[in-house]
Amino acid sequence: MGILKKWKDRIYEQLIGRYPVENGLYQEYVRNHSEYHRKHRVQSWLYLCRLSRDARRVQADKKHPQPPVSTPRRPVSQDGGQAAAGRPAGKSASNAKPQAGAKPAAAKQPFLPFLEGAESRMVVPRPSPDHFAMTLMRYDVISFDIFDTLLFRPFTEPRDLFLVLGKKLDIINFQNIRNEMERKAREVHQARFGNREANIYDIYEYVEKYTGIPKEYGIQMEFETELELCFANPYMKCVFDLLKSNGKTVIAVSDMYLPREMICKLLEKCGYQGFDEVFVSCECNANKITGGLYRIVKRYFGADKTFVHVGDNRDADVAMAQKCGFATQYYAGVNSIGKSYRATYDGMSELIGSAYGGIVNAALHNGMNRFSPLYEHGYLYGGLYVLGFCSWLHRKMQEKGIEKILFIARDGDIYRRVFQMLFPEAKSEYLLWSRIVNNKLTAENDRYTFLLRAVRAHEKTGKSTIGEVLSSLSLDFLADELPKSHLGAKHLLIPSNGRMLEDFLIRHWQQVIDCFDQESRLAQRYVQHLIGGCKKIAVVDTGWQGTSLFGLKWLIEEKWETGCEVQGYLAASQTACPTINQYKILTGELETYLFDRAYNRMTYDFHAKTNKGLTSFLFELFTQACHPTFQGFFEKEDGSVGFSFGVPEVENYDYIREIHSGIYDFCREYAGRFQNERFMLNISGHDAYVPFRLIARNPAFFKRFMKDMTYSIVTGSSSSATEIETIGDMFRRSGL
Amino acid sequence: MVLYHAISSYQILEAMIHRKLYHPEEKAFLVLPDFVVNKLPQYQQLKKMGFFDELSLFPYRQIRHDAKTLMQQVEDAYEKNIPYPITAFHTVYLAAAHFYFSLYLLMKEIPFHYFEDGCGILSRPEISFDLVNSHTPFQAEWAQEHGLFDGMNPLIQTRICNLDAQTAEIPGDRQNVVHFDVAYALEGLPETFREKIITFFGAPEGLDAGENSMLVMTQQLANLGRISIQEQMLLYQMTLDYYAQGYRLVFKPHPDDVLYYDRLFPGSLVIREKFPAELLPYLLKTRPKAALVQYSSALAGVRKCFPINIFCGYGIEDHFWKLHLYDAGLRLAGKLGIKKIVGLGLFAPQIENLLQYGGLSDFGLEVCFAQKFAPSEADGFYLIDDPGGLEGFSYEKMEEWLSAAPEKAVFLFLNTQQDYLFYQPDHPDWADNTIPLPIRMQRQEDCLFKRQGEALWLLTKDKDFQNAARRVTMEKELPYTGMTWEIGPMDDVALKIAVLEGEIAAMEHRLKHYIQENRELKEQLEGQEERGHF
């Protein structure tokens, strides 16, 4: 079976695994049509072959450009894949269910604006708020739609608010119940009054009848939830303020079941002071979609006035308004703009996916701000994972009685900043550490890894001399001994002399350990100072094997005997050899948030198999820091502990700051929106990864916007000029 | 018949008064832009009230900025909208000659009289150019090429301007320049005619600015796309925090500026009616004690009406955010007993305004602005912002100067560009002579000022001066901006950390500069290799 699997993996890799876009499409298809895939394997394989064929054509076209090839049709199951995705049919972004026996729909390759530039600049450029306001000022009465125009909710679908309400009322399936009761109430209203403008009181009559929730209580909870979660569209708020300041008559007009009084409170809470009037369909017994509400507005102000209406619904806010004699200004909804590019519909769980999508769409597309591609990279693709990771760490702290978290440099920089923002009362430190320091100080306990990192990693590049390697490990004093082993300090380290160097180091092992011992004592002073008096701490890194975590655990618990227990947490674990750290995970010594070999396996597989194994590298771009690699400890003249650093990659710092700004702002925005609903910070590792998966399928983004960033080819050593290359070079070298 | 062409309210007023004074009995035709219907919906009153005999709208909104079709478009527009051939007008006056109506005259080779674009602008044609260029570069280029910003086109018979309002040398031959002061002329007109003008513009009479008020005439910077709307808010907040404390604010926004000054500055009076500023003296019950504008041209016509006139300076949008750094630098100098300052790369209007109106007059400071980078061996106090634009400047020369400077010379770097000019990598003891003075800020949540990590950097070999500077304390509250900044003493540890942080930032900056230089040289070399130069 093992051999068969191996061959199967190889064939898969050859056919499609090495084409990240097509691989992503196929995996998405399998995920969303799992039942169909199980029963119609041959159809799926045919689809895989078609994807593979087209991927090869695209490769060939790159050399000899030809007209674009459309992606092949994929087989779809009866429900369009909705059951597998967990959504009721008819609620998703895709459209009609295919008929039985019908030909499968074509999978369209969407325009990906982030490959051209920042999404906030590329997709729907809006006029500046003052220009927009001036356009409206020509009219006597300026009317605004409310929801998705003046006000946003932090969800992609407005009714997802009922998911949060369901939690407050502690009723499972509340969203569907609430929707059903609203439908009922509207039907009854239609029968009684000839229109469907039921109000919230009507709706909760039925909610009470079918759930037992007292009507007034239910209404109060729903309204409080709206008050808590609704926020002003900053663009429209600015436009509103400009209009009011210039003495214009401004009204709000909404098809809504909330009564006018509640709507007014909502608007005021969101900072809209001074509407001349608010018209709500449930009180006027007329709505926008049939035009009745517009006619009421006109009668109210006088038909001799000129009117303009601003809204996001093409039918209700544009077509019908125009029919009723209003000029209109269409304001494309932020969620309708952003949804084609959101990972929300790529397998995220509904509530978190909706919250993530709602927040990023509102930030990017309201029209007030334009961001850089790198800022958006952090905001869109890194923010959710960092937020979820920090929140997960905090829960672990509480569950396991951990007193302090040490975030390892350099990845820990952004983690700690976000962690401190979210949980200011929780103790944490930024620990200067690195693979090279870990390698040296744990050599005594892990000789193999030491030799692997010190020698074999360098011999692969063939760019370092043996002398440089020794120097990077502070083992210069051994250089004089090299000739005795037929080695020279000026010899390039290559595979043919690599084993000889290893033997040399092993022969001088005690000297090596003694050399590191002094540094170990300095490290001990430093780390113990950070630990303080804590008896149980956690050490956190991004990934991937956990060597630094294990190293620190050994040092703190065993070598230094501090009496402190260490728990290790990684964002994710993925190693070239999958079995490296499996027992550590099974014993609980190491826990991962996003995935490891046994947890969130599909995510693990995607991560391991896409981009020719470079996905980890791309992932780590979220968590760099604006200081050089930490090289080690030394004793200063006054006896205090000194810290030495490598070559600063200053050309990266502006990139890093932009990405971190995006990550931090997302985390602050999301946490702020749900400050009273802390359960919304319980983001699963699967959900946290999905946004990154979308961008990882499109490495062209990294190639375009980060090609000048540099990195050291060999980690765990000092960076001489010959060992640094740019991301652009890496892409060229790897053929990505 | 005479023809007048005008675009802005000021130009319309100018045409009204000029016609009254110079062609009262002749038939006068006025050409207005089609977009006047939004700005002055009552424009038809110009005919009904007898200011002009006839008027037409020129369809500027329909004219495309296209070199190939422009002439044909303009010709068609004239023929469709002006009921008389151009030769029917014995005299033509054009204000806003950089608009395409003048192209018709150029095509027909009709001489005309040229009104300057705004009061005092003839000597600063680059201001008009920049304003037009910021939203229609094609039109700006065309007008520049035909001498329509400086009035140098050969078809221009006379250039009519307010000579008293010019702030620089008028370009070209002064012989064809004719003085015309709109405000002065307005004053000399019969009151009934003035009242008619006020009525036409719908200007509100009896405005009560209060006893101690400041008139602020805004510019439409965000509307022009020069800065964002948030930046415009911040510009006025910071500027007024420094110059308007104690005054009641009266805003007269530019007609195209719609910013909500009443919300930004509670208690202020905002005059939203659109009328020329020249009418203000006749509308205000109590005249403001001071006026604040960006460009002097905005106030040129009425500056005599206000005891204090503050001009923020052309280009203020690029410098306003440094106000607290400039203020801190001047205050520091003052507190340390300095009287004379040499300024390098400073924005002069901002310094002058701070000295005069920013509460610094007690220090008796005098600032001399260096016109080029010429390192001096003399002792002195040097206030340095962005000398990169000074002739003769280079990083190396700055470093040489600093290292060779005499004991008593003091250099105060504002470091607004975060370029760390005080950094001397070849002189390891430079840090011993450098004192960072970090600016700590407390901000309200909605404060628009977002910059972080700012500091002044004092460099001197004089240890006594260093110690004195370290003991200086100052603080300034900016209520409109919603922040307070302060500088205060630091202990030795904090000082050392600040120096190290500055050193790291300086090194980073320098490294990036060398990396970029290296990259460019490499590209040049590769380019030369490809071309076979080696």
Determine which of B135, B224, B260 to mutate to test the interface with A (most A C-beta atoms within 10 Å). Answer: B260
Residue A719's pLDDT band, with cuts at 50, 70 and 90, is very low
CB contact under 8 A, B262 and A130: no
Predicted local distance difference test score (pLDDT) of residue A43: 77
Put simply, the chain A residues between 583 and 642 with a CB less than 8 A from any chain B CB are none
**Residue B515, min C-alpha distance to chain A (Å):** 8
Q: Residue B377 falls within a domain, yes or no?
A: yes
Helix then strand count (H, E) for chain A reads 35, 16
Q: Which residues of A touch B272 (CB under 8 A)?
A: 246-247
Angle formed at CA A393 by CA A390 and CA A394, multiple of 5 degrees = 90
Q: Residue B531 falls within a domain, yes or no?
A: no
Domain end (from B287, B314, B341) = B314
**Searching chain B, which residue's CA lies closest to the CA of residue A244?**
B260
Predicted local distance difference test score (pLDDT) of residue A24: 60
Predicted local distance difference test score (pLDDT) of residue A257: 96
Question: Does the structure show a pLDDT above 60 at A318?
Answer: yes
Q: What is the CATH number of the domain that holds B125?
A: 3.40.50
What single string gives the DSSP state of each residue in B234-261?
HHHHHHHHHH-TTSEEEEE--TT----H
Q: Residue B527 falls within a domain, yes or no?
A: no
Pick from A630, A602, A466: which is nearest to A29 by CA? A602
Measured CA distances, B155 to B28, B85, B113, B159 (Å): 21, 18, 9, 11
pLDDT tens digits for range A366-381? 999 999 999 999 999 9
- Contact of B77 with B61, CB cutoff 8 Å: no
Residue A87's pLDDT band, with cuts at 50, 70 and 90, is very low
Q: Residue B174 falls within a domain, yes or no?
A: yes
Predicted local distance difference test score (pLDDT) of residue A675: 96
Q: Which residues of B touch A245 (CB under 8 A)?
A: 258-263, 270
Q: Which residues of A touch B515 (CB under 8 A)?
A: 650-651
In this structure, the number of other CB atoms found within 10 A of the CB of residue A532 comes to: 12
Percent of chain A with pLDDT over 70: 88
CA distance A652 to A646: 14
- A129 at B interface, C-beta within 8 A: yes
Residue A1's pLDDT band, with cuts at 50, 70 and 90, is low
Residues in chain B: 534
Residue A59's pLDDT band, with cuts at 50, 70 and 90, is low
Strand order in the sheet with A249-254: A277-280, A249-254, A141-144, A307-311, A327-330
Tell me, yes or no, whether B213 and B192 share the same domain: no
Predicted local distance difference test score (pLDDT) of residue B532: 66
pLDDT tens digits for range B291-316? 999 876 667 777 777 888 899 988 89
**Searching chain A, which residue's CA lies closest to the CA of residue B265?**
A245
**Residue B459, min C-alpha distance to chain A (Å):** 26
Predicted local distance difference test score (pLDDT) of residue B103: 95
Predicted local distance difference test score (pLDDT) of residue A71: 35
Q: Residue B529 falls within a domain, yes or no?
A: no
Tell me, yes or no, whether B35 and B123 share the same domain: yes
Question: Does the structure show a pLDDT above 80 at A115?
Answer: no
Most confident of A35-39, A120-124, A203-207: A203-207
**Residue A649, min C-alpha distance to chain B (Å):** 9
Tell me, yes or no, whether B226 and B166 share the same domain: no
Predicted local distance difference test score (pLDDT) of residue A106: 41
Tell me, yes or no, whether B230 and B327 share the same domain: no
- A138 at B interface, C-beta within 8 A: yes
Question: Does the structure show a pLDDT above 50 at A64?
Answer: no
**Searching chain B, which residue's CA lies closest to the CA of residue A654?**
B512
Least confident of A1-10, A40-49, A102-111, B24-33: A102-111
Domain end (from B167, B198, B229) = B198
**Residue A725, min C-alpha distance to chain B (Å):** 13
Q: Map out the domains of chain A with their CATH numbers.
A: 2-92+104-109 (no CATH), 129-338 (3.40.50.1000), 389-650 (no CATH)
Q: Residue B534 falls within a domain, yes or no?
A: no
Predicted local distance difference test score (pLDDT) of residue A25: 64
Determine which of A121, A130, A417, A726 to mutate to test the interface with B (most B C-beta atoms within 10 Å). Answer: A130
Q: Which residues of A touch B511 (CB under 8 A)?
A: 648, 650
Q: Which residues of B touch A238 (CB under 8 A)?
A: 229
Type of residue numbered B425: P
Q: Residue B304 falls within a domain, yes or no?
A: yes
pLDDT tens digits for range A136-189? 998 999 999 999 999 999 999 999 999 999 999 999 999 999 999 999 999 999
**Residue A715, min C-alpha distance to chain B (Å):** 22
CB-based burial label for B131 (10 Å; 0-12, 13-18, 19+): buried
Residues in chain A: 736
Predicted local distance difference test score (pLDDT) of residue A77: 34
Q: Strand, coil or helix: what is A235? A: helix
Tell me, yes or no, whether B109 and B10 share the same domain: yes
pLDDT tens digits for range A444-454? 999 998 998 88
Most confident of A42-51, A72-81, B17-26, B370-379: B17-26
Residue A82's pLDDT band, with cuts at 50, 70 and 90, is very low
Q: Can you say whether the dihedral through the CA atoms of B286, B292, B293, B299 is positive or negative?
A: positive
Q: Residue B525 falls within a domain, yes or no?
A: no
Tell me, yes or no, whether B303 and B343 share the same domain: no
What's the mean pLDDT in A224-253?
A: 97
State how far Cα B481 lies from the chain centre: 20
Percent of chain A with pLDDT over 90: 68
Tell me, yes or no, whether B302 and B184 share the same domain: no
Predicted local distance difference test score (pLDDT) of residue A150: 98
Tell me, yes or no, whether B17 and B127 share the same domain: yes
What single string gives the DSSP state of each residue in A17-67?
IT-HHHHHHHHHHHHHTHHHHHH-HHHHHHHHHHHHHHHHHHHHHHHS--S
Tell me, yes or no, whether B282 and B365 share the same domain: no
Predicted local distance difference test score (pLDDT) of residue A74: 37
Domain end (from B137, B167, B198) = B198
Whether complex ipTM tops 0.95: no
Q: Show the low-confidence residues of chain B (pLDDT under 70).
A: 296-298, 532-534
Type of residue numbered B438: P
Question: Does the structure show a pLDDT above 70 at A91?
Answer: no
Q: Residue B229 is nearest to which of A130, A245, A648, comparing CB atoms? A: A130
Question: Does the structure show a pLDDT above 70 at A32?
Answer: no
Specify the number of domains making up chain B.
3
Tell me, yes or no, whether B293 and B352 share the same domain: no
CB contact under 8 A, A242 and B259: yes
Residue B513 token pair: 């500069």
Tell me, yes or no, whether B190 and B215 share the same domain: no
Tell me, yes or no, whether B179 and B223 share the same domain: no
- A665 at B interface, C-beta within 8 A: no
Question: Does the structure show a pLDDT above 50 at A80?
Answer: no
Q: Residue A238 is nearest to which of B229, B256, B262, comparing CB atoms? A: B229
Determine which of A650, A726, A729 to mutate to test the interface with B (most B C-beta atoms within 10 Å). Answer: A650
Residue B519 token pair: 């990259």
CB-based burial label for A638 (10 Å; 0-12, 13-18, 19+): exposed
Residue A459's pLDDT band, with cuts at 50, 70 and 90, is confident
3-state secondary structure B377-445: CCCCEEEECCHHHCECCCHHHHHHHHHHCCCCCEEEECCCCCCCCCCCCCCHHHHHHEEEEECEEEECC
**Tokens 């829960």 — which residue?**
A395
Q: Residue A133 is nearest to which of B225, B258, B270, comparing CB atoms? A: B258
**Searching chain A, which residue's CA lies closest to the CA of residue B226?**
A128
CB contact under 8 A, B229 and A246: no
Residue A31's pLDDT band, with cuts at 50, 70 and 90, is low
The whole domain housing B141 covers 2-198
**Tokens 């894949």 — which residue?**
A81
State how far Cα A175 lies from the chain centre: 26
CA distance B262 to A217: 41
CA distance B397 to A28: 61
- A244 at B interface, C-beta within 8 A: yes
CB contact under 8 A, B512 and A129: no
Residue A109's pLDDT band, with cuts at 50, 70 and 90, is very low
